[in-house]
Structure 1
Amino acid sequence: MSAEDLENYETDMELQLYREYRDVVGLFRYVIETERRFYLTNEYNLEVRNAGGDVFFEITMSDAWVWDMYRPQRLVKNVKVVTFKDVNIEELAKSDLQIPSGG
């Protein structure tokens, strides 16, 4: 496989992922972003924890969609994420759910 073939494959995978996101975003209420992943979910629990002076975040979600083009199944029944970096959680307004046409 050439470098160009690999680049074309990754471009196609990203386009498929965007299309899937566009199709499912209206089903979810929250966007959760960590340093490694991007999630859509309707329910979550965020716990701030301390261990030996280090602060970390533990996020649990149910029925989540994961932005990851290498996962064969992006809808996940239960997710538990532990991260040492900031977590961004936003509630989607209905106007945020409108995807621009022509894409």
Structure 2
Amino acid sequence: MDSSRQSIELKRLARRYIWWETPERALESPERVIAQTMTLGTLSDLDCLVRLVTPRTLRHTLEVAMPGWFDAKAWAFWHYRLGLTDPGENPPPLPVRKTA
């Protein structure tokens, strides 16, 4: 996918899944837009996302995820889907907020 089309699609996903910020502001953290889409995305938007970014980008998004970016279901799904967790094994724990 060419970069202008990618930019248009990421902006559309940002508008839809990071509705409380402008798409431009949301895309300052593309991993957040990707994570929100991975968690809340419709089947159509998920199909778009996996065509839009590489599996490496999706894995990176899981690696840098902040607490609250994923729910348990999406976290497990994407770890299995991307081959980060073997069938029958548990995915790593969700990121948690650290308290002082």
- TM-score after normalising by structure 1: 0.26
Q: Between Structure 1 and Structure 2, which shows a larger proportion of helix residues? A: 2
Q: Between Structure 1 and Structure 2, which shows a larger proportion of strand residues? A: 1
Structure ID, larger Rg? 1
